[in-house]
Amino acid sequence: MEEIIFIIKESPEGGFEAEALNHSIFTEADSWDVLKVNIKEAVLCHFEDNEKKLVRLHFVKDELITT
């Protein structure tokens, strides 16, 4: 089973952005739950075969603090 890894970041406009590594798949959503649905739909649309894919979500949060 192929594994597809998505990098998830908070969108500057609000919500979340998801981009797949090694594939040209990108989606976004206002909430985490909707983002997961959008990712599933994007993966199904991207691949023509009926083979199941394992999708891993990797949430990245960049935060700067001063001392």
Domain ranges of the chain: 2-59
**Each residue's pLDDT tens digit in the chain (67 positions)?**
889 999 999 999 999 999 999 999 999 999 999 999 999 999 999 988 778 899 999 999 888 899 9
pLDDT for position 32: 96
- Residue 63 has a pLDDT of 86
Token reading at 14: 């609000």
- Residue 48 confidence (pLDDT): 80
For residue 27, give the DSSP letter: E
pLDDT of residue 23: 95
Contact 18, 28 (CB under 8 A): yes
DSSP notation for 18-58: EEETTS--EEEESSHHHHHHHHHHHHHHH--S---EEEEEE
Q: What is the pLDDT of residue 1?
A: 83
